[in-house]
Structure 1
Amino acid sequence: MRRILFLLIFGLAGLAVLLALGTWQVRRLAWKEALLSEIDARISGDPVNLPENPRPEADRYLPVTVQGEILAGEVRVLVSVKQVGPGYRIIAPFRTGDRTLLVDRGFIPTEAKRAERQIGQMEVTGNLHWPDEIDSYTPDADLAENIWFARDVTALAQELGTEPVLLIARSRTDPNVTPLPVDTVGIPNDHLQYAITWFGLALVWAAMTAYFLWRSRAPPEGRTT
């Protein structure tokens, strides 16, 4: 009897923990979906003027329109685009009034890296962003070949002599540069998979608990009641 009681308590406790973890992931899923909807709404909102002091947290994804001049000089950041292949993001300095910021003009294929691109006066609409693309495995930039491996806003600003502010264009700045606008595709949302995993483990745990309880109550082989 004690064995059965122990198995029952242990099984129910484990089941409760697994169900709680699954329920928590369902709540996290609802929170993440609401957050992504909020970000999508902000990304596609009406553009405003460039803030005086843009802040990474408060102004991330803010839609902005700037008038000014794309200056000479650019940085090429190695990327790969689905169904297209490898290429580069083109990051250029943009002067607006007495300020200079970074503009992510978009994508070019690898063979177009040395082609000339339009510079000079233009209006650019896009979204402010401070991408988090640096980790311990990110190689250092190849400055001799002008190949970078991440959009490190601080390092790019130092290289191009701008404010540490990046505007990712959603309007075209050159006929041969394809804009890669900000979206929420790269923001992970794995909570549904996690919830399914925890609930699946709960089902297996319940089945195993029921099996061991049945085995504990069953008479030994060769003995009848």
Structure 2
Amino acid sequence: MTVTTEHPVTADATGHPRRARLAFVSAMLILTAVFIGLGTWQVQRLFWKLALIARVEARIHTDPVPPPAPAQWGTVSTEKDEYRRVAATGTFEHHKSVLVQAVTERGGGFWLLTPLHLSDSSTVLVNRGFLPADRRDPAARAAGEIVAGPVTVTGLLRISEPGGAFLRSNDPANERWYSRDVAAIARAKGLGSVAPYFIDADATPNPGGLPVGGLTVIRFRNSHLVYALTWYGLAVMAAAATITLRRRLI
């Protein structure tokens, strides 16, 4: 008769295989490192966001400067230029204006975007301000919309908003705009050399009171500290679980 002897599987006091618990400890160690890395990344993002907020606060309170010229358009960026206070002088092309759907502190309505033709033959779109929904018809707002001759617009430089809004794409063919997409508006209106940004006009009153400028919302979502604390908390929990299991294996 042949007798076969099998090596028993090493188990801990609860009967679970030792190797499975070692694997679990290793997984917890990896998770701890991952959570610490994610928490540290969020701390870095927090300091980046605070620096961005400080830069923007400084920009909006400085004296206006000329907007970037065509030779500088390729270097315009959100981090470097957005919300910079600028002043541009030119002539409005009112017949090429577009209305972009907007929701503001004054309720729902539209932004009135009008091309401003500059002396260097380039064009920059100007968000002249907010129009209530009942002023969509040009005949209902002509007195305040039309500004003849050269005009100087002071406001904040904003970066183009391509594509449209959430679940709503811009429809140039039917004059339905949900975002201030500079390139798409330029194509739809047959504009020439157009800046890759637009200007949000300040609160300087327009004739007749409309459109209403100066409604730019400057707000930055900053939840990085909460995220960092969450990841670090998970790291502490994973480390505690690792230590507890490790002690049981010794």
Identify the residue that residue 236 of structure 2 maps to in structure 1: 203
Cα offset for 1:177? Answer: 1.8
Structure 1 distance, partners of 2:214, 2:162, is 16
Give yes or no for contact 1:105–1:172 (8 Å, CA) kept in 2. Answer: no
Structure 1 distance, partners of 2:86, 2:118, is 12
Amino acid at match of 2:201: A
Q: Larger Cα Rg: Structure 1 or Structure 2?
A: 2
How many residue pairs match? The answer is 214
Flag structure 2 segments of 5+ consecutive residues without an equivalent.
1-11, 13-17
Aligned in 2, Cα 1:202/1:169: closer, same or farther, shift over 3 Å? same
Q: Which has the larger helix fraction?
A: 2
Identify the residue that residue 125 of structure 1 maps to in structure 2: 154
124-133 vs 55-64, which deviates more? Answer: 55-64
Identify the residue that residue 221 of structure 1 maps to in structure 2: none
Identify the residue that residue 92 of structure 1 maps to in structure 2: 114
Cα offset for 1:167? Answer: 1.7
Q: Deviations over 1:109-145 (max 9, x none)?
A: 211212222322432101222233426944232544x
Give yes or no for contact 1:60–1:130 (8 Å, CA) kept in 2. Answer: yes
Deviation beyond 6 Å, 4+ runs, structure 1:
none
Tell me the percent identity: 31
Amino acid at match of 1:199: Y
Identify the residue that residue 4 of structure 2 maps to in structure 1: none
Aligned in 2, Cα 1:52/1:8: closer, same or farther, shift over 3 Å? closer
- Say whether residues 1:176 and 2:210 are aligned partners: yes
Identify the residue that residue 84 of structure 2 maps to in structure 1: 62
Identify the residue that residue 48 of structure 2 maps to in structure 1: 31
Identify the residue that residue 76 of structure 1 maps to in structure 2: 99
Q: 2:131 aligns with which of 108, 123, 130?
A: 108
TM-score if structure 2 supplies the norm length?
Answer: 0.70
Cα offset for 1:44? Answer: 2.9
Secondary structure at the counterpart of residue 147 of structure 1 = coil
Identify the residue that residue 191 of structure 1 maps to in structure 2: 224
Identify the residue that residue 7 of structure 2 maps to in structure 1: none
Amino acid at match of 1:192: L
Cα offset for 1:88? Answer: 0.6
Identify the residue that residue 50 of structure 1 maps to in structure 2: 67
Give yes or no for contact 2:172–2:185 (8 Å, CA) kept in 1. Answer: no
Cα offset for 1:162? Answer: 4.7
Amino acid at match of 1:105: R
- Say whether residues 1:141 and 2:141 are aligned partners: no
Give yes or no for contact 2:126–2:201 (8 Å, CA) kept in 1. Answer: yes
Amino acid at match of 1:164: V
Secondary structure at the counterpart of residue 69 of structure 2 = coil
Amino acid at match of 2:202: R
Flag structure 1 segments of 5+ consecutive residues without an equivalent.
218-225
Secondary structure at the counterpart of residue 32 of structure 1 = helix
Q: Deviations over 1:27-66 (max 9, x none)?
A: 2211221122113322332111234324232644332212
Identify the residue that residue 9 of structure 2 maps to in structure 1: none
Structure 1 distance, partners of 2:132, 2:86, is 27
